[in-house]
Chains A and B, each alone.
Chain A
Amino acid sequence: MKRLLHALGPHNATQAWGLLALLTVASAAIAVAERGVLPWIGWLIAALVAWKAWLVAEHYLEVADAAPVFRRIVRVFISLAPLALVVTAWLESR
């Protein structure tokens, strides 16, 4: 799975920037079109923001080269809001 994600993901900062711009436009378009229509769409927005934050952390911030403690802090932080969004989507879909 990890190898598949790596193969499908961007291989340099330029590709990462293109993908980030695409995901940003997509998330705004989804939000405007589906706001309040589909109860599970919050999960998709959470996944998109997690993906974008991961792309910035890996390709821009070079978090893989950071000291282990800071690497863990960045990875925990970028999971917080997406996880809370998933919980919110679940609460609102009940």
Chain B
Amino acid sequence: MPKIKSTLSVAATASLSLTDPPAPANAEAAESARPGYTAMWVGITCEFVEFAVFFVVYFVARWSYPEVFRAGAPRLWTLGGLLITLVMLTSGYLLVRTVLAVRRDDQRAARVWMTGAFIVSLGYPLLKWLEIQWNPAHGVIAGNNAFFTVYYYLTINHFMHSAWGILGMAWVLLRVWQGAYRPGNLKGVESMAIYWHATDIVWLMLFSLFYAFV
């Protein structure tokens, strides 16, 4: 009887404990070997959920107003969309090279690649500004119809996400020039790259929904 009491007491203590049971050592090692902070993966999951909802809005609007969408798409600045895509892909590639350079502790290469990634990423706000100038002259005005409303809502939302990414890149650039990232201490630069690549994936979707509309 005392043995049963003791077992129940241990079980109750374990179930009411506020702290997680200690994870096995190999699980911790596996977690630390993964790229970036877990918090950043959670963050991009939230970004994906947000844009998944926007995609639902896009397709409901497109299926409801097919003619409006068909007439609106050719009026967008396709070259601008193409150039933004190339800017996103190229700055993402340069971030990959930055991470690889930090992993092999090549600080000089990391500084060069990271500077390149930041400079190329600035092409996005520049192109977006040019697009905003171009749009009204071609009748691309938010209130005109469902297509333009959805186009502005989704692309400006994406631009806001990218603006956060560019600010983050400025911080990581500073830290790279300070030599703050080393093999074994590169979660910061990896997390920055993860955020930018996730934003890149979202843009690839937007490009196919608006600029490469068929």
- Chain A contact residues, CB within 8 Å of chain B: 13-14, 16-17, 20-21, 24-25, 27-28, 30-32, 34-36, 38, 41-42, 45-46, 48-49, 52-53, 56-57, 59-62, 65-67, 70, 73-74, 77-78, 80-82, 84-85, 88, 91-92
- Verify A31–B78 contact, CB threshold 8 A: yes
Q: Are A84 and B35 in contact (CB under 8 A)?
A: no
Q: Identify 30 residue pairs between A and B in the complex whose beta-carbon atoms are under 8 Å apart, listed by A's number.
A: A13-B97, A14-B93, A17-B89, A17-B90, A21-B90, A24-B85, A24-B86, A27-B212, A28-B78, A31-B78, A31-B212, A38-B214, A41-B214, A42-B214, A49-B205, A53-B204, A56-B204, A59-B96, A60-B96, A61-B194, A61-B201, A62-B35, A65-B34, A65-B35, A67-B38, A74-B44, A74-B48, A74-B201, A78-B201, A92-B66
Docked-complex contact B208 and A77, CB < 8 angstroms: no
Interface assignment of B156: CB less than 8 Å from any CB of chain A:
no
Q: Are A30 and B35 in contact (CB under 8 A)?
A: no
Q: Which residue of A lies closest to B62 (CB)?
A: A88
Contact B214 A31 (CB under 8 A): yes
* Minimal beta-carbon separation of A69 from chain B (angstroms): 8
Whether the pair A32, B208 counts as a contact (CB closer than 8 A) is no
Are B93 and A60 in touch, CB under 8 angstroms?
yes
- What 1/0 mask marks residues of chain B from 63 to 81 whose CB sits below 8 Å from any chain A CB? 1001000100110001001
What residues on B are CB-neighbors of A28 within 8 Å? 78, 81-82, 211-212
Q: A20-B89, A49-B205, A74-B201 are in contact. List 11 more A-B contacts (CB 8 A).
A: A13-B96, A21-B89, A27-B208, A27-B212, A28-B211, A36-B214, A56-B200, A60-B92, A60-B93, A65-B33, A67-B31
Given A27-B212, A80-B52, is A57 in contact with B201 using a C-beta cutoff of 8 Å? yes
Q: Is the CB of B209 within 8 A of A34?
A: no
A51 to chain B, nearest CB (A): 10
Interface SS of chain B: helix
Does chain A have a CB within 8 A of B187?
no
The answer to whether B208 and A48 have CB atoms under 8 Å apart is yes
Residues in B188-214 with C-beta less than 8 Å from chain A: 193-194, 197-198, 200-201, 204-205, 207-209, 211-214
Contact of A85 among B34, B41, B51, B208 (CB under 8 A): B208
Query: What is the interface residue range for chain B against chain A?
Result: 35 or more
A84 touches which one: B59, B93, B100 (CB < 8 A)? B59
